[in-house]
Amino acid sequence: MLEIDTPKLKLITISSAKWEDTVNSWISFFDYKVQETGYLSKNLVQTWNAPNNEDSRYAILASKRGSQNVGIRIVENSIPSNFEPLRTFGWASISLIVKNLDEIITKINSSPFKMLCPIRTMNFNQGRIKLLDIIGIGSEVISLVEVLDANETNLPVPQCSIDRPFMVTLATRDIETTKNFYYNKLSIDKSPEVQSEIWPLSDAFQYNRDTTYALSKNLFGEKTFLELHEYPEDSTRRNLISGNLHPGICHITITLPKIDDLTLYWLTEPIQIESGAFKNCKQVTFFGATGELVELIEHKTEN
């Protein structure tokens, strides 16, 4: 393992054919606010292996009343007609920390989001959580999570009804290979695997809901997690339109104080970001163990 400073999850990027509707849904239902908006540059989309997304609209959003440590970037994109969320490898879902799920569920039916599964409770580290899985206009799968145990200190405390993303989930072919990759390349500590029911996944594959899957939750910055799910053999690579971003949750952005020493194969030569909160910062991208896209930004201070 290379000894480096702890990487921090900064952005989760969603691509959507209905860009404006997707942005508005996060504003209206989650009470997120737009921090930055514009058009993607040629240099940036080349590093994403998505040259067709040059001049696509984007918006970066974060919780209006809660933590802004982790944001959501929504990008305009053309999506294959046969895209099925939760049946492919890659970035699978986002988890948001919330105060009261029972209050939120009363508003779902009149929102742009659809429920995937009923509310349920499950273990998380040493405590219990309640969660609700929903899907958005851009086919983004979202878990809304309420902490039930006051003694659970590993999760962030929500400062508003629906607060920040605290976990991103990666669908993998082999969980051990993926854990080793992120441990060796980015010093993300490995956690033990557990077997757990994952109802949205079972529903997507038409399995019984009591089917269990290997998963692990790996600390990814302060009270933020990278969750790995080992997907069934029926899973496939995620289809995309050649030259475009992947549909759904397409990549994540990690900040690190220094990226030159990392033993990774970049997709392109590093660039300097041309605008926005990370203007003039060095940026590179790489593919992970399951072919997932990861963006790295060299940034030395909290933002």
Q: Is 269 part of a structural domain of the chain?
A: yes
Q: How many domains does the chain have?
A: 1
Q: Is 303 part of a structural domain of the chain?
A: no
Determine the structural domain holding residue 220 and report its residue range: 8-298
Q: Identify the CATH number of the domain in which residue 278 sits.
A: 3.10.180.10
Q: Is 2 part of a structural domain of the chain?
A: no
- Name 152's bridge partners: none
Q: Is 1 part of a structural domain of the chain?
A: no
Query: CA-to-CA distance for 188 and 205, rounded, in angstroms?
Result: 30
Tokens found for residue 108: 């779902």
Q: Is 50 part of a structural domain of the chain?
A: yes
Confidence at residue 261, expressed as pLDDT on a 0 to 100 scale: 85
Confidence at residue 90, expressed as pLDDT on a 0 to 100 scale: 98
Confidence at residue 95, expressed as pLDDT on a 0 to 100 scale: 98
Confidence at residue 16, expressed as pLDDT on a 0 to 100 scale: 98
Using 70 as the pLDDT threshold, list the residues of the chain that sit under it: 1-5, 150, 152, 301-303
Confidence at residue 4, expressed as pLDDT on a 0 to 100 scale: 56
228 Cβ neighbours under 8 A, 6+ residues apart = 169, 170, 172, 175, 178, 179, 215, 216, 218
Give the tens place of pLDDT for each residue, 45-100.
Answer: 999 999 999 999 999 999 999 999 999 999 999 999 989 999 999 999 999 999 99
Tokens found for residue 126: 């040493």
54 Cβ neighbours under 8 A, 6+ residues apart = 40, 41, 42, 45
Q: Is 3 part of a structural domain of the chain?
A: no
In 3-state terms, what secondary structure has residue 199? helix
Confidence at residue 222, expressed as pLDDT on a 0 to 100 scale: 86
